[in-house]
Amino acid sequence: MLDALALYEQSDAGIDLWPAAVQRLETLDGDMPSAWRYNLARLLEIRPRSGEASIHWNRLAQNAARLPAPFRKTVCIRQSLKPAGDCLESAPTTAAKALPWRWPVTTEGAFPLTPTLRSRLFREWEAIPFDWYRAKLYGFIHRSPDRRAAVMEMDQYIQLQVIKTKLPLSIQQLPTFCPQPLTKRRLLSGELHSCENWAVLVREDQPVEAWWITR
């Protein structure tokens, strides 16, 4: 799915990769996550296939309560099963506890990493540079000395943070830190429990990794 989206993003004035991207998404089968249907609907809306996109928006709206808040808003506006307000109100919201761990770098606001700030934040960390020329993406993967934390910097902004250690909570406590139902996905390495812009990887009923990604 991500490969199809990346393919579409490489379109420019001289090459149209929309048909290939849509075809790749449409040929996927099996138990696909809601993100697959959401991204396919967004692509179908770009061209005169809005009727097909509407089918996907309505399918997503049937489980709007389980969608992350930013995606639920888009789905509820575009679906045609019920008034958008009723669709949005179908998702119960609760006050969530603050996460019981700290990210390597503050997640409050976006700020560019100047050379001085980068040096201060990642003193003694290993910096692995990357330059994906075709995609025009460049940056660093910063790894802590104990290898228990990593931060991906792209275009001078922090995009991803990972904590790899036994987390101070149980799998039963995870829902209390999210204001909406968690999204769960099976992975080869365990089960991923996602909430808005953070997620926790669970193995054998034990949270072992925490991920944060910028919006």
The percentage of residues in the chain with a pLDDT greater than 90, rounded to a whole number, is 37
pLDDT score of 158: 93
Q: How many Cβ atoms sit within 10 Å of the Cβ of residue 115? A: 8
pTM given for the model: 0.60
Rounded mean pLDDT, 198-209? 93
List of long-range contacts for 6-14, beta carbons under 8 Å, 24+ apart: 6/135, 8/43, 9/135, 10/134, 10/135
- Contact present, 168 and 100 (Cβ < 8 Å): yes
Give the chain's length: 215
Instruction: Give the pLDDT confidence of 70-88 residue by residue, as tens digits.
Output: 788 889 999 988 888 888 8
pLDDT score of 207: 94
Name the more confident of 211 and 109.
211
Question: By C-alpha distance, which of 151, 165, 152 is closest to 210?
Answer: 165
Rounded mean pLDDT, 94-101? 80
Instruction: Give the pLDDT confidence of 15-51 residue by residue, as tens digits.
Output: 788 888 888 888 886 677 788 889 889 888 887 777 8
